[in-house]
Amino acid sequence: MAENTVVEESGEPALRRVMGPKLLLLFVAGDIIGTGVYALTGQVASRVGGALWLPFLIAFVVAFMTAFSYLELVGKYPTAAGAALYTNRAFKKPFFTFMIAFAVMCSGITSASSAAVAFSDTYLRTFVDWPGWLIAPLFVVGLALINFRGVSESVKANVVLTFIELSGLLIIIGVGAWAVLNGKGDASRLVEIDTANSGWLVAVTSATSLAFFAMVGFEDSVNMAEECKDPVRIFPKAMLWGMVIAATIYVLVALASSLLVAPGELAAAKSNALLKVLDIGAPGFPREVFSAIGLFAVINSALINMLMASRLLYGMANEKIVPKQLGIVHPGRRTPWVAIVFTSVLAIALVSTVDISVLGGTTALLLLVVFAVVNVAVLVLRKDTVAHKHFRTPAAVPVLAAVFCLYLASPLSGRPARDYVVAAILLAAGLVLWLVNRFLLARSAPPARQDPAP
């Protein structure tokens, strides 16, 4: 049987293996290079000041260390579900596994929701002034239709969108370089840290805890392992190179932004920060062109995050952590259509009620906690050996990564209280879902056998 038309032993259709090394590299890079830098540059500047490049660099280092843990685990267990699967195997606590799975799913949905808000309230307004409360939910519905159409179509769309969003960031980098060569820009800003309301450490870590939102694409990619060709072999290079490419571009964009625009102006511009950079560095450049690129960038991020969320639920349904109905695959399209509907409904609820900066902060908070758990899980699972060869990370790396992730997730990093409030509400919803799932499982269980009376 062909590799991309696998059928599970149960007789149910399985996911198609359509992603080779090039598609996976573009998937990782395209997921990271997206909403984070296009929509949250202004918010990061508001926390750290002119040294905008530093939080992105630190976020990359922490994410890079955590990626090594993911590489070892995806090499051992090359199936969908990512962090939730690793948690289940390491700790064997169904409730804990469920909450980790729910947290990862929520992070994907909040990330996609922030992209939907950026789409409707930022870049689209360059062309039309339609109400965000209408456009953002329609945006999510459009993503669901692409997702349902099939992973092959979705990944091909990702390739096109990745090159488009990359072109926008290269324009910002090029504008910054041109302006500097012509005597514009203030290099002294690059070492300025805003300590007006806190010390320099809190300013940097608070900005890093938000900038981390822009470096989370590798978690999405491991949830696509079951749709990759030979994932054990291709994942390490694709993931690490994708992260290096994205981090380099982010740091260069941050440098260009700080050189050309004062941090207060970047903060005031909020989601329009990169447009502000363009206006100052190249005032003759048509805003419409960059706004169109920004629209494609947030579409790409949102599409990949919704792909991840639905595939995670599919994987956990196969692990019997969530109701089996969430793992139903459409026989024609070979996509987990029930999971797609479920995650899309949650995204619509979020875009209708929550601000974009809160969505970004909550996404980073949830993933930092999840990454800390994964870094511990990789050490616990060292005792679980597999027959095939796979990537192995030095033991010190996940230890350091876990410490850094927990610190950035804690109030010590200067994280706003509202991030914890939104995360608590989402996890409370997860608790309710867990109880409903337990009730359904109990009802479906066969009655206990009664011994006949003597």
Q: Across 60-203, where does the E strand assignment appear?
A: none
pLDDT digits (tens, 9 = 90+) for 368-378: 999 999 999 99
Q: Identify whether 175 is part of a domain.
A: yes
Q: What is the pLDDT of residue 400?
A: 97
The token pair at 192 is 């300025």
In a domain, 449, yes or no: no
- The SS3 of residue 222 is helix
Whole-angstrom Cα distance, residue 163 to residue 30?
A: 8
Per-residue model confidence as pLDDT tens digits over 61-86: 999 999 899 888 888 887 655 787 78
Residues 215, 220, 226: CA angle, nearest 5 degrees: 150
pLDDT tens per residue across span 399-416: 999 999 999 999 999 888
pLDDT for the residue 8 = 45
**Residue 154 maps to a domain:** yes
DSSP 3-state of 7: strand
Q: Can you give the residue range of the structural domain that contains 48?
A: 21-384+395-439
**Residue entry with tokens 């005032």:** 283
Mean predicted confidence (pLDDT) in 440-452: 66
Residue 162 belongs to a domain: yes
Mean pLDDT of 382-411: 91
HSE of 264 in the Cβ direction (CA atoms, 13 Å)? 1
φ, ψ for residue 91 (rounded to 5)?
Answer: -110, -20
Contact at 8 Å (CB) between 368 and 408? yes
| pLDDT average, residue stretch 322-333 | 81
Instruction: Name the band, by pLDDT with cuts 50, 70 and 90, for residue 272.
Output: confident
Confidence class for position 334, pLDDT limits 50, 70, 90 = confident
Statement: residue 388 has pLDDT above 50: yes
Show the CA angle centred on residue 99, arms to residues 93 and 104, nearest 5°. 125
- One-letter amino acid at 100 equals I
pLDDT of residue 252: 95
Could you give the angle at which helices 35-48 and 200-211 cross, rounded to 10 degrees?
170
Residue 122, pLDDT above cutoff 70: yes
| Residue with tokens 């800003």, as numbered in its chain | 189
pLDDT tens readout for residues 196-224: 777 888 899 989 988 888 776 666 677 66
Q: How far apart are CA 275 and CA 286, in angstroms?
A: 10
What digits encode the pLDDT tens for the residues 24-62? 888 788 777 777 788 888 989 999 999 999 999 999 999
CATH number of the domain where residue 189 is located = 1.20.1740.10
Query: Looking at residue 319, what is its pLDDT?
Result: 67
What is the reported pLDDT for 4? 45
**Confidence bin at 7 (pLDDT 50/70/90):** very low
Residue with tokens 């500097």: 180
Alpha-carbon distance of 330 to 332, in angstroms, equals 6
DSSP state for residue 412 in the 8-state scheme:
G
* 446: pLDDT strictly greater than 70: no
The mean pLDDT value of the chain amounts to: 83
Q: How far apart are CA 114 and CA 131, in angstroms?
A: 16
Q: Are 374 and 405 within 8 A, CB to CB?
A: no
State the Cα–Cα distance between residues 281 and 125, nearest whole angstrom.
21
The dihedral through the CA atoms of 87, 92, 96, 98 has a sign that is positive
Let me know if residue 15 belongs to a domain: no
Residue 271: inside a domain, yes or no? yes
What is the C-alpha separation between 359 and 351, in angstroms, rounded? 9
Query: Residue 399: what pLDDT?
Result: 96
447: in domain: no
- Amino acid letter, 271: S
Indicate the number of domains in the chain.
1
Q: Residue 451 has what DSSP assignment?
A: P
**pLDDT computed for residue 50 by the predictor:** 93
